[in-house]
Amino acid sequence: MFKKSIILFSIMLPILLSLNSTLLTAVAQESQRQMIISIEPDLKDWKIKGPKFMSKWEVGIAAMDANNPKKLKAQATDNMPGELINKSKGSLDIYTRKTFGDCIIEMEVMVAEKSNSGIYLMGRYEVQVKDSFGKSWLLGPGDMGGIVGTSKPIKNAAKKAGQWQKIKIEFNAPRLKNGKRQAPAEFVKVTLNDTVVQEHVKMENGPTSGALKVVEVLKGPLMLQGGLGAVAYRNIRVTPNVTQ
């Protein structure tokens, strides 16, 4: 019996080592593909949807405004990585100069009380960002983690306003041929604060409301909504799918 175990182990060990090596290689390759979206004071890697003078986006360290919980403050960075902050409602949307198709997007977001924002994949398909903390019934597509106009979150995983929340979005761009759609864009999975809130949501009706443009394309920018409330974003990372 002991000899059989030794023989089996000697057979399985190379297989296990090979699988481990393959897994480590895949993780390393994904890490190399990952892009960190720069948040610099001059916002050189971003564009504004509309006249720049109407934008309220700035770079700093976000905190709740003690005098008004519906607003955020932008404190000095003191050599810390900058955070993208919209201190109150009435600003404009902001989007990346870089464009993406199939990708995984990860970031952290802070919303003020009663605030509303959104993360637009390709500038067209919105994942809702909203102060939905404590809402236990009648969840809809307009709540935190919802796909606007399309799919409500599976459960409410939202944290209290003023806390940083983690979002991970696994997304496939629409498939087009000669300008015609062959398959819709798809939110493969949306994870909010380590809880899956969306799975395999296909955007059959195309772009959601507030889209940068309604024409579907193979690649588009990451857009963040700024007009409906105070919000901050940080640690924005995009991993493109190289097989697209």
Given this model, what pLDDT does residue 243 score?
Answer: 55
Given this model, what pLDDT does residue 131 score?
Answer: 97
**Does 86 share its domain with 183?**
yes
**Does 22 share its domain with 82?**
no
Distance of alpha carbon 209 from alpha carbon 203, whole angstroms: 12
**Does 15 share its domain with 95?**
no
**Does 106 share its domain with 24?**
no
Given this model, what pLDDT does residue 79 score?
Answer: 83
Dihedral Cα 236, 187, 148, 234, nearest 10 deg: -10
CATH code assigned at 54 = 2.60.120.560
Instruction: Provide the pairing of β-strand 165-172 with 103-111.
Output: antiparallel
The number of CA neighbours under 13 Å toward the Cβ of 49 is 21
**Does 61 share its domain with 100?**
yes
Chain segment 64-80, per-residue pLDDT in tens: 999 999 999 999 988 88
Given this model, what pLDDT does residue 22 score?
Answer: 44
**Does 80 share its domain with 140?**
yes
Mean pLDDT of the chain: 89
Given this model, what pLDDT does residue 236 score?
Answer: 97
Q: State the pTM of this model.
A: 0.85
Q: How many domains does one find in the chain?
A: 2
Chain segment 120-137, per-residue pLDDT in tens: 999 999 999 999 999 988
**Does 85 share its domain with 23?**
no
**Does 27 share its domain with 136?**
no
**Does 17 share its domain with 103?**
no
**Does 90 share its domain with 26?**
no
**Does 100 share its domain with 11?**
no
Question: Are 156 and 143 in contact, with CB atoms under 8 Å apart?
Answer: yes
What is the span of the domain harbouring residue 218? 36-240
Q: Above 70 in pLDDT, residue 9?
A: no
DSSP notation for 40-87: -TT-TTEEESS-GGG--EEEEEEEE-TT-TTSEEEE--TTSPPEEEE-
- Quick check: helix, strand or coil at residue 156? coil
- Quick check: helix, strand or coil at residue 175? strand
**Does 1 share its domain with 59?**
no
